[in-house]
């Protein structure tokens, strides 16, 4: 059985462990390196006025569980889930509840949607599909291992990545398994898994052994397989090279891992176009020319999509357990372990604004729909924010 380390600030151990270390150090008289502690937030001149539009409770808390629960949208509704089994559909404009379903499952990933189905995974290894219009549970399928990343919805199939290294395609209408592939897993890995992506009749996913693989969507045949970087080091922790995120843009796949590489891969051939040393376990965001991410120390960076060249970096959130970034208007936004959302200028990296989303940890990447940003915290509250336009 794999030992899975939780993701957190600077190093993938729980933030509470850092606090314990600090207390033990203080008691023993040993000095704690300030560089290992979360940065204190400092005052600055805000250049954006951010307004909370609405907030609503989704379900029970998921404190310290490091789950893959993240809201999704079809443009008209926001779908959100909680660890207590609740799945809810909300009107995207007003946050009004349209339906609420208790799946009675310990949900841990998703929900994902394509406007027809809403699909989530559980800590017990179940996948549940609901009707997006009514919230009716259509089927529940056991996939045998915990699901910690949102499923990917494709024509005819639901692609699910499990923590045991298995990737499976489930039939959309019944939930029955169509095909399954298994990757060899290291003895120790970071808690959390790369979400699969579907593009050009391929299911593409990153794995905890540092590989990014593309499979035929119809039958699971391997189309290409890339090792981003071989593991190295004397200890199991030093050899951690989990791929945390893969994303498709244009004709390329962009992938980043913990203690590994950030790189671009050609979708058609699997050729590694470029790579550079980079460590991140929270994920990345893309626009037409730039990659945005928070590295393992929660330093926020912007890099060229064409070469990986660094364009800017900001260290104000060092060790604050920053989420994957979200892009809205001219800003890149990340959440942190105290429930703050930080807004940085896309071009310069300058800090533009900071707002609080309920004081509980924001674990998952914020969601952007139209001109609003949505974030859910570990207390189970979903918030909607928008940029208030300056009055003439």
Mean of per-residue pLDDT scores for the chain: 87
Residue 137: half-sphere exposure toward Cβ, Cα within 13 Å: 16
For residue 170 the two structure tokens come to 């489930």
Q: Which domain holds residue 265?
A: 3-388
Q: What is the pLDDT of residue 235?
A: 54
Q: Give the model confidence (pLDDT) of 277-326 as tens digits.
A: 988 888 899 999 999 999 999 999 999 999 999 999 999 999 999 999 99
Does residue 16 sit in helix, strand or coil? helix
The angle subtended at Cα 61 by Cα 160 and Cα 125, nearest 5°, is 25
Q: What is the pLDDT of residue 34?
A: 72
Q: Give the model confidence (pLDDT) of 228-238 as tens digits.
A: 865 555 554 44
Euclidean distance between CA atoms 214 and 390, whole angstroms: 46
Q: What is the pLDDT of residue 63?
A: 57
Q: What is the pLDDT of residue 239?
A: 44
Q: What is the mean pLDDT of residues 322-336?
A: 97
Q: What is the pLDDT of residue 19?
A: 43
Q: What's 30's domain CATH number?
A: 2.130.10.10
Q: What is the pLDDT of residue 41?
A: 96
Q: What is the pLDDT of residue 144?
A: 81
Confidence of residue 183 (pLDDT cuts 50, 70, 90): confident
Q: What is the mean pLDDT of residues 366-372?
A: 95
Where would I find the beta strands (DSSP E) of 258-358? 260-266, 272-278, 284-286, 290-294, 300-304, 310-314, 326-328, 331-335, 340-345, 351-356
Q: Give the model confidence (pLDDT) of 57-93 as tens digits.
A: 998 765 556 678 999 999 999 999 999 999 999 999 9
Note whether 390 and 369 are within 8 A (CB): no
Note whether 149 and 109 are within 8 A (CB): yes
Pick the closest to residue 10 from 42, 43, 32 (CA basis): 32
Q: What is the pLDDT of residue 44?
A: 95
Euclidean distance between CA atoms 42 and 260, whole angstroms: 31
Roughly how many angstroms between the first and final C-alpha of the chain, as a whole number?
Answer: 62
Does residue 18 sit in helix, strand or coil? helix
More confident position, 257 or 23: 257
Q: Which of 35-44, 140-149, 257-266, 309-318 has the lowest mean pLDDT?
A: 257-266
Q: What is the pLDDT of residue 17?
A: 38
Q: Give the model confidence (pLDDT) of 17-59 as tens digits.
A: 344 444 444 444 556 777 789 999 999 999 999 999 999 999 8
Q: What is the pLDDT of residue 28?
A: 47
Confidence of residue 15 (pLDDT cuts 50, 70, 90): very low
Euclidean distance between CA atoms 309 and 295, whole angstroms: 15
More confident position, 364 or 228: 364
Confidence of residue 245 (pLDDT cuts 50, 70, 90): confident
Does the pLDDT at position 9 exceed 70? no
Note whether 332 and 344 are within 8 A (CB): yes
Note whether 257 and 210 are within 8 A (CB): yes
Query: Longest Cα pair distance anywhere in the chain, in angstroms?
Result: 62
Euclidean distance between CA atoms 321 and 342, whole angstroms: 12
Q: What is the mean pLDDT of residues 12-17?
A: 40
For residue 243 the two structure tokens come to 């791929």
Does the pLDDT at position 351 exceed 60? yes
Pick the closest to residue 322 from 348, 343, 346, 306 (CA basis): 343
Q: What is the pLDDT of residue 21?
A: 42
Task: For tokens 């270390």, name the residue.
Answer: 21
Euclidean distance between CA atoms 250 and 241, whole angstroms: 26
Looking at the structure of the chain, the number of domains it has is 1
Cβ neighbour number for residue 157 with a 10 Å cutoff? 20
Q: What is the mean pLDDT of residues 257-284?
A: 90
More confident position, 186 or 145: 145
Q: What is the pLDDT of residue 389?
A: 79
- What's the whole-model pTM score? 0.87
Note whether 293 and 301 are within 8 A (CB): yes
> Residues 297, 303, 305, 308: is their CA dihedral positive or negative?
negative
Confidence of residue 187 (pLDDT cuts 50, 70, 90): low
Note whether 265 and 226 are within 8 A (CB): yes
């Amino acid at each position: 059985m794999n030992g899975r380390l939780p993701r957190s600030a600077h190093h993938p151990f729980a933030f509470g462990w850092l606090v314990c270390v600090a207390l033990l150090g203080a008691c023993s008289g040993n000095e704690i390196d300030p560089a290992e502690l979360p940065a204190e937030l400092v005052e600055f001149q805000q250049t954006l006025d951010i307004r909370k539009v609405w907030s609503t409770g989704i379900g029970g808390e998921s404190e310290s569980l490091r789950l893959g629960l993240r809201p999704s949208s079809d443009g008209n509704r926001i779908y959100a889930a909680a660890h207590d089994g609740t799945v809810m559909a909300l009107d995207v404009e007003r946050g009004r509840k349209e339906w609420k379903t208790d799946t009675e499952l310990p949900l841990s990933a998703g929900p994902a949607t394509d406007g027809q189905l809403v699909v989530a995974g559980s800590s017990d290894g179940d996948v549940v599909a609901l009707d997006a219009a009514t919230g009716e549970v259509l089927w529940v399928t056991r996939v045998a291992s915990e699901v910690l990343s949102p499923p990917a919805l494709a024509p005819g199939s639901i692609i699910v990545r499990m923590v045991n290294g298995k990737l499976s395609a489930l039939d959309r209408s019944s939930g029955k398994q169509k095909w399954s592939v298994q990757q060899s897993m290291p003895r120790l890995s970071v808690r959390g898994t790369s979400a699969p992506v579907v593009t050009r009749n391929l299911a593409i996913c990153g794995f905890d052994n540092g590989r990014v693989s593309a499979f035929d969507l119809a039958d699971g045949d391997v189309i290409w397989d890339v090792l981003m970087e071989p593991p190295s080091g004397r200890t199991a922790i030093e050899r951690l090279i989990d791929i945390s995120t893969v994303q498709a843009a244009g004709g390329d796949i962009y992938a980043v891992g913990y203690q590994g590489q950030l790189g671009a891969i050609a979708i058609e051939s699997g050729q590694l176009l470029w790579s550079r040393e980079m460590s991140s376990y929270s994920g990345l965001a893309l626009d037409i020319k730039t990659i945005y991410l928070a590295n393992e120390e929660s330093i926020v960076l912007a890099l060229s999509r064409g070469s990986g060249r660094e364009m800017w970096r900001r260290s104000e959130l060092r060790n604050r357990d920053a989420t994957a970034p979200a892009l809205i208007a001219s800003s890149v936004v990340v959440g942190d372990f105290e429930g703050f959302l930080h807004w940085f200028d896309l071009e310069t990296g300058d800090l533009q604004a900071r707002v609080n989303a309920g004081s509980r940890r924001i674990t998952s990447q914020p969601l952007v729909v139209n001109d609003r940003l949505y974030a859910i915290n570990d207390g189970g509250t979903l918030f909607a924010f928008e940029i208030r336009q300056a009055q003439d």
